[in-house]
Amino acid sequence: MVSSVATEPDRQPEGGTEPLVRIDGLSVEFATPRGAIHALRDITLDVPRGKVLGLVGESGCGKSTLAYSLIGLLAENARVAGGRIDMDGQNLAQLKPKEWRALRGKRISMIFQDPMTSLNPVTTIGQQMMDIQYREKVGRAEMRARAVEFLEQVQLPDAASKLDAYPHQLSGGMRQRVCIAMALLTRPDLLIADEPTTALDATLEMQIVTLLRELQEKFGCSVLFVSHHLGTVAELCDEVAVMYAGEVVERGDVAQVFRDPCHPYTQALFECDPARIREATRRLPTIPGTLPDLRRPPAGCAFRARCPKAFERCMTDHPPLYDAGGGQAARCHLNDPAEDRA
Amino acid sequence: MLLYASQRLVLSVVIVMVAVSILTLMLHVVPGDPAVMILGPRATPELIEQTREAMGLDKPLPVQIVTFFGNILRGDLGQDVFTGREVSQIVFEQLPYTLILISVSILWAAVLGIALGCYSALRRNTWLDTLTGVLSVGTISIPAFVMALYSVLVFAVWLQWLPAIGAGEGFWDRVTHLILPSFAIGVSWVGYVSRIVRASMLEVMGQPHVRMARAYGLPDRWITRSHILKIAVQPAVTLIGTGVAHLFSAAVFVEVIFARPGIGALIVQAVNERNYPIVLGAVLVTTGIIVLATLISDLVIAWLDPRQREDM
């Protein structure tokens, strides 16, 4: 792992602008009675300013852990074991609880997976939307007006009347719109969306994704969009990072990665996407095997046990992120220029 | 909310009526003639017949029950067999002593129980959490009368800090007379309430909406109050509401031990004297208050939680 740092390619080209968040060598561990789980290992990734970065991977790959570490809401048994998260000169990896609290709901906001349980069930929508404006030095009437304004932004029908409703009186799609309105209301620089459409049905999913895209363009914030649904990532994101077993295995421009995936895991992921299946089949394609035990991450490539293209070097050598050109990079020895020569 | 409240109120009245019917029936099932009880074994048959007639015992049972209901509606609970005083007057004379005793006991249970439960949930698995856990189980296992005897021994006899006998005169004296008996009743409920608040706090703390509140940087105290406690306190409210029945039975012992006037002391005395109208009247009023307490706890929960208002 350590040897890989030296060969890291330069960061994705940003068209001149500095990224909003630079994650550099971030490692997160979970303490368990049977030893530490190395949930994130040496993550190096930029969240571009004013763009949408997608984070994809199968369950347990660490994508949610990465999202939560960007808002300081990791579980109690988790700790940042190394690395930095830089946002405008502040290292988020070292923040104290009080400093985190100052950032949350101000510079960083989050939309959660399940809208059915994310809102306080015993408080009205309006009160919750006013509560999150507690830092503003404005009167109740103005807070209320702002709440209505943002409920209209998320195209909630009859927005003003929804202020006095309780969450259980709204449908799942409406609740997720409320959650998006709340997240945008705080005018964050970084909006983290942790699988915001997973709990919704397919038609609602597309509506929410379209809405997120429109609002992101309107407000110009950076979005970290966590999903395991490749279709929504293609629809919504500018850039994508593919995660496997606590590592970023491939990253780059969405169109480029989707057109020409360089890592065997990304390729396998695309082959398993039900949306790509053209012919009727009795069995959906899967990637054989399971995630490695993250208590003892394997020495070589984390994916080699499931990789159809694995060769000797993958057993011993941990691959760095090789530059694949055009800002695309993949953590696979097949992308090592030295392998081509061999 | 208004609809919900009126629904609950109607239900409460039905419950009281059923309870009263069962009570009257029970009095008839119990062997022995009340008239004989009153007059003693050497009464003449004519006198017994006269008394039965005066008490309405010669009429058929359904008529008796209907008459009894009619009397209750007019506020007539019958007369004390010895002094002839109105039972309702006697009961309502004694009631305030018991009501204040039980209310202060609930105050002990609610304030201490919720505070301790809250504290141990927020600092779970610390030595303080363990200590409250042990104390809670300890106090739950101690009956109120044992607590009453020992608190008299320690605070009234040895330390002589607090009075042990009677209800006191004047405001401040009454307050000091309340401390020991109400603590004796309330302390075991501190254990119950703190355990149940701790458990439901821990459950609510793990819910996504609490994480969402934290994601907006809301202050911790605020989250604890309006996102966690407002939901987590509900089982404790139900527990206290239904527990009022047990509080009354604890009050029976405690009033006797502390020689306080009150419904409990009245019932004990009336039972010893076979003074049935007073027993019946006191139990009836107690039943009404217990049902009222359940109603209040239901309404408090409906007020706390909008989801409960639509559950009828």
pLDDT at res. A165: 93
Instruction: Tell me what pLDDT residue B53 has.
Output: 80
- Residue with the larger pLDDT of the pair A21 and B36: A21
Inter-residue contact B87 to B270 (CB < 8 Å): no
Contact status of A73 with chain B (Cβ, < 8 Å):
yes
The pLDDT assigned to A9 comes to 47
Cβ of residue A140 closer than 8 Å to a chain B Cβ = no
- What is the pLDDT confidence band of residue A12, given thresholds at 50, 70 and 90? very low
- Select from A122, A124, A166 the residue whose CB has the most chain B CBs within 10 Å, as the one to mutate to test that interface: A122
Cβ-nearest to A73 among B215, B305, B307: B215
Q: Put residue B125 in one of left, alpha, beta given phi > 0 → left and psi -120 to 50 → alpha.
A: left
Average pLDDT over residues B209-214: 93
What amino acid is encoded at A241 in this protein?
A: A
- The closest alpha carbon to A106, from A66, A147, A151, A71, belongs to A71
Integer Cα distance of A169 and A166 in angstroms:
6
Here the tokens at position B210 are: 């609490």
Residue-wise DSSP of A25-80: EEEEEE--TT--EEEEEEEEEEE-TTSEEEEE--TTSSHHHHHHHTTT---TTEEE
Q: Is B206 on the interface with A (CB under 8 A)?
A: no
Q: Which of residues 186-215 of A touch B (CB under 8 A)?
A: 186
Q: Which residues of A touch B304 (CB under 8 A)?
A: 122
A153 contacts: CB under 8 Å, gap ≥ 6:
A181, A184, A215, A218
For B308, the closest chain A residue by CA position comes to: A122
Of A117, A134, A135, which has the smallest distance from its Cβ to B208's Cβ? Answer: A117
**Both structure tokens of B119:** 């504290």
> For the residues of A214-234, what is the DSSP string, one character each?
HHHHHH--EEEEE-S-HHHHH
* Interval B215-236: pLDDT, tens: 999 999 999 998 999 999 999 9
Kindly compute the dihedral angle of the four CA atoms of residues A150, A155, A158, A164, in this order, to the nearest 10 degrees.
Answer: -40
Residue A79 has pLDDT above 70, yes or no: yes
Quote the percentage of chain A above a pLDDT of 90.
Answer: 62
pLDDT bracket for residue A65 (50, 70, 90): very high
Look at residue A181 in the predicted model and tell me its pLDDT.
93
Q: In chain B, whose CA is at the least distance from the CA of A111?
A: B212
- Chain A: nearest CA to B309, how far in angstroms? 11
- In this predicted structure, the answer to whether residue A161 has a pLDDT above a threshold of 50 is yes
Q: How many CB pairs under 8 A join A and B?
A: 69
- Give the tens place of pLDDT for each residue, A245-281: 999 999 999 999 999 999 999 999 888 887 777 777 7
Give which of B134, B150, B137 is closest to B183, Cα–Cα: B150
Phi, psi (deg, nearest 5) at residue B131: -60, -50
Q: Which of residues 143-182 of A touch B (CB under 8 A)?
A: 166, 168, 179, 182
Å from A250 to nearest chain B CA?
29
**What pLDDT sits at residue A326?**
83
Chain B interface includes A121 (CB < 8 A): yes
What is d(CA B14, CA B3) in angstroms, rounded to the nearest whole number?
Answer: 17
Residue A179 has pLDDT above 50, yes or no: yes
Q: Write down the pTM of the prediction.
A: 0.81
Q: Of A79, A80, A71, A73, which Cα lies nearest the Cα of A104?
A: A71
The CA-based angle A15-A17-A21, given to 5 degrees, is: 120
Give pLDDT, residue B201: 94
Integer Cα distance of A325 and A13 in angstroms: 11
Within 13 Å of residue A89, how many CA atoms lie on the same side as its CB?
Answer: 0
pLDDT for the residue numbered B132: 85
- Which of A306, A334, A337 lies closest to A61, judged by CA? A306
Q: How confident is the model at residue B32 (pLDDT cuts 50, 70, 90)?
A: low
Is B231 an interface residue toward A (CB < 8 Å)?
yes
Q: Does B198 touch chain A (CB under 8 A)?
A: no
Structure tokens at A297: 């991450």
- Whether B227 has its CB under 8 Å from any CB of chain A: the answer is yes
The Cα–Cα gap between B182 and B144 comes to: 10
What's the token pair of residue A18? Answer: 């500095």
Reported as a single tens digit per residue, the pLDDT across B123-166 is 888 888 888 888 888 888 888 788 888 888 888 778 878 777 77
What pLDDT sits at residue B137?
85
pLDDT attached to residue B311? 52
Using the Cα atoms of residue B110, residue B115, residue B116 and residue B118 in order, give the sign of their dihedral. Answer: positive
Q: Which of A105, A114, A166 sits opposite B217 (nearest CB)?
A: A105
Rounded Cα distance, A42 and B61, in Å: 86
Q: Quick check: B202 contacting A, CB < 8 Å? A: no
Average pLDDT for residues A215-240, to the nearest whole number?
A: 92
Classify A86 as helix, strand or coil.
strand
Beta-sheet pairing, A322-325 with A90-91: unpaired
CA B173/CA B183 separation, integer angstroms: 16
**CA–CA distances in Å: residue A84 to residues A21, B65, B82, B192:** 10, 81, 88, 47
Helix B144-151 × helix B171-205 angle, to 10°: 130
Contact between A110 and B212 using a beta-carbon 8 Å cutoff: yes
Cβ–Cβ below 8 Å for B214 and A73? yes
Residue type, B312: M
- Ranking A76-90, A184-198, A322-336, B158-172 by mean pLDDT, the lowest is B158-172
Distance from CA of A139 to the nearest CA of B (A): 18
- Higher-confidence position of A159 and B3: A159
Are B215 and A168 an interchain contact pair (Cβ–Cβ within 8 Å)? no
Is A120 within 8 Å of B307 when comparing Cβ atoms? no
Maximal CA-CA distance, chain B: 84
Separation between Cα atoms, residue B158 and residue B156, nearest integer Å: 6
User: Testing the interface with B: which of A65, A131, A169 to mutate, by most B Cβ within 10 A?
Assistant: A131
Kindly determine whether residue B209 and residue A186, on different chains, have CB atoms separated by under 8 Å.
no
Mutate one of B212, B220, B222 to test the A interface: name it (highest A CB count within 10 A): B212
pLDDT band at A238 (very low <50, low <70, confident <90, very high): very high
Q: What is the pLDDT of residues A114-130, one digit of tens each?
A: 888 999 999 999 999 99
pLDDT recorded at residue A126: 94
Percent of chain B with pLDDT over 90: 20
Query: CA-CA distance, B235 to B193, in Å (whole number)?
Result: 9
Count the alpha carbons within 13 Å of A181 in the hemisphere toward its beta carbon.
29
- Quote the tokens at residue A133: 């404006």
Of A178, A175, A191, A202, the closest CA to residue A115 belongs to A175
Q: CB-based contacts of B265: which residues, under 8 Å, 6+ apart?
A: B94, B252, B255, B256, B259
- In this structure, which amino acid lies at residue A21? V
Look at A59-63, A89-93, B61-65, B259-263 and tell me which has the smallest mean pLDDT: B61-65
**Residue B183 CB neighbours (<10 A):** 21
- Looking at this predicted complex, what is its ipTM? 0.85
